[in-house]
Structure 1
Amino acid sequence: MQECFFCGQAPADPGCTIEQPLYRLTRYAHLGLVRRFEYDKLVIPVGRCAACARIGAQAKKKRKVAIAVGSGIGFLIGLPIPGAFVFTAIGGGFAGYLAARSRTNKMYDRLNIRAPEAVKEYPPVAERLNGGWTLKK
């Protein structure tokens, strides 16, 4: 039985596995105004226990709430200035995201588990990343 990559203690739950897609550019064609990219795709399963999955879902929900609250506050701050509310709402959302990310990273440290972004350190993923694969197209 595989153990959870994030906490390293509990056994991985098959229902909580993260499927990490990796991409490798296989073909690039530049045809005048049109560029065409073709990729190979590889999906690597990363074992995760139910407790780490629950913590990750809670952190994701907190980030969404912080972005919404930050955007709302930014919108209200920008209302008195014509046209500024768009920029202050975006800035507020970004500030909310940064604050939530800082808090969730502290939570992961306190609970002694890896953050979801650490999936690139998972040995099969890290091996492929060093071999030319990427996390995004």
Structure 2
Amino acid sequence: MADFLKSYAVAEVGNLRRDKVGLRNKLQKMRDLRGEDAQEIFDLEYSIDIRAAHQEASDARVEYLMDLLDQAYGADKNPARIPAYKNPDDMRIPSGDREGEVVTMSDHIYLSKFAEVFSTQFASKWKHAKSWKDFLHDKISY
């Protein structure tokens, strides 16, 4: 009986050693994955910040160009500021700082492109957004 218990104990110790090695390998694999995830998060945050800088630069350029058009045509005759629709109630700004205002030609171009990009690139990814208007965020100014 003692030999049986000794053999059993030796077998269990062997199993525990194998389990320990297996757990160490799994732990190392998890550490590697965590490192890869940390790098991916860093890269994504960096990419988001680059995009934010591009957006601010683009906004500044648009503001400058709109000011030039205002100077050239007068603010009331700037072709980018004229209403996009004969009936101003056909489309209003759906959200943001200018929510409810009449859509200008400049807005129409922006919103049309936004709707196109949403439908071709993001509609299938963000299923909870029922339309491009849902995809607009109320804190975004355009």
Same fold, TM-score > 0.5, yes or no: no
Kindly name which structure, 1 or 2, has the bigger radius of gyration based on alpha carbons. Answer: 2
TM-score, structure 2 as length reference: 0.33
TM-score, structure 1 as length reference: 0.34
